[in-house]
Amino acid sequence: MWDYYKKTFLAVQLFSAVVSTMVYRASHSLAPAAVFLLSMEASAFLGAMWASRLRRKMQSRTSCLIN
């Protein structure tokens, strides 16, 4: 999981920062921007976990087909 998360870390952080900044500038309130930031961070982490699980399943399936 950490390999996938490390690959996408910078892009996810930059995108989260840009979106949160845009929300803050539109609402002039920190609370909605914080909600957007935290939800995007949690989604990125859960997505990395899911991608890792799918990769393991695909690798085990292909190793079964080779043998």
Q: Mean pLDDT, to the nearest integer, of 34-52?
A: 90
pLDDT of the residue at 52: 84
Q: By the 8 A CB rule, do 37 and 20 touch?
A: yes
Q: What is the pLDDT of residues 6-41, one digit of tens each?
A: 778 889 899 999 999 999 999 999 999 999 999 999
pLDDT of the residue at 1: 65
> What is the pTM for the complete model shown?
0.72
pLDDT of the residue at 6: 78
Other CB atoms within a 10 A radius of the CB of residue 3 amount to 10
pLDDT of the residue at 26: 96
